[in-house]
Amino acid sequence: MSGIPLHYEAFGDGVPVLVLHGAGVDHREMAAVFEPVFGRLPGYRRIYPDLPGMGRTPAPATLAGADDVLEILLGFVDALIGPAPFRLIGHSAGAHFARAIAGKRVRQVAGLGLVCPLEGNARDVPEHKVLVAAVEPEKLLDTEEAASFGEYFVVQTQATLDRYQEAVAPSLGLADEAALDRISRQWEFRGTAADSQPYSGPALILAGRQDATVGYTGAWDLLQLYPRATFAVLDQAGHALPHEQPDLLEALVTEWLGRSVSQKPVPPGA
């Protein structure tokens, strides 16, 4: 899978932080979420790639599943970060790949952050229910965008609508749906699954109490793999948790980054 260029944007200087977005969008969503956080935390180089088949990163027909995406991401880490320790954050599908990278690079990942992780163990997923309806998206957006916003957000306010229009809507027409379908059909990693490997570094797992995409109970199962994980379920938060609870996200991410300072990742039992 070498030779596939990953489009990315990077900001700042210092400790590398690799941030992976979810399915169907591109790097701009996570940049909009985390740049305000890191704007108050100097000393980090934030790296936001477009995952294959999304944004400006291609996904040729030879890319057949999650293992291929993982191979590309590991090559990206080698090329851009090298052997240096780095922090790793993933939202939704991005968390799936973040867990696998941490499993493959246990000695290099100095902190792992998972937001609404999309995994095969999702269960008890609630029906989508809007908790705050302070705007009427069908009057403010076109039909497709109104449906997308309505299905993604459980807190529908002018602030979350602005976040949607800034960070999510611009990427919707850029996804290669055929490629995403191929990847989803081979979503689990083959062999000794990289995402099943324990990780003993500082971790953070955030889940939305009203997440109608993955729920939150499946994320709880991940704690057995991450002995130094903080786990938080946030009310008034669905799969769009980063937009719906930005202040809590910032507080928890800031605390997690503090725990990862001077962390030297070591495999469990080493």
* Domain-located, residue 145: no
CATH code, 42? 3.40.50.1820
Total number of domains in the chain: 1
Q: pLDDT for 26-53, tens place per residue?
A: 999 999 999 999 999 999 999 999 999 9
Mean predicted confidence (pLDDT) in 78-95: 98
Q: pLDDT for 104-157, tens place per residue?
A: 999 999 999 999 999 877 788 999 999 999 999 999 999 999 999 999 999 999
Domain that holds residue 196: 8-125+175-259
Phi, psi angles (nearest 5°) of residue 100: -70, -40
* Domain-located, residue 115: yes
* Domain-located, residue 83: yes
- What percent of the chain is predicted at pLDDT more than 70? 94
Per-residue DSSP letter, 173: G
How far is the CA of 203 from the CAs of 151, 159, 253, in angstroms? 29, 29, 10
Distance of alpha carbon 267 from alpha carbon 247, whole angstroms: 32
Amino acid at 39: G
* Domain-located, residue 89: yes
* Domain-located, residue 138: no
Amino acid at 24: G
* Domain-located, residue 154: no
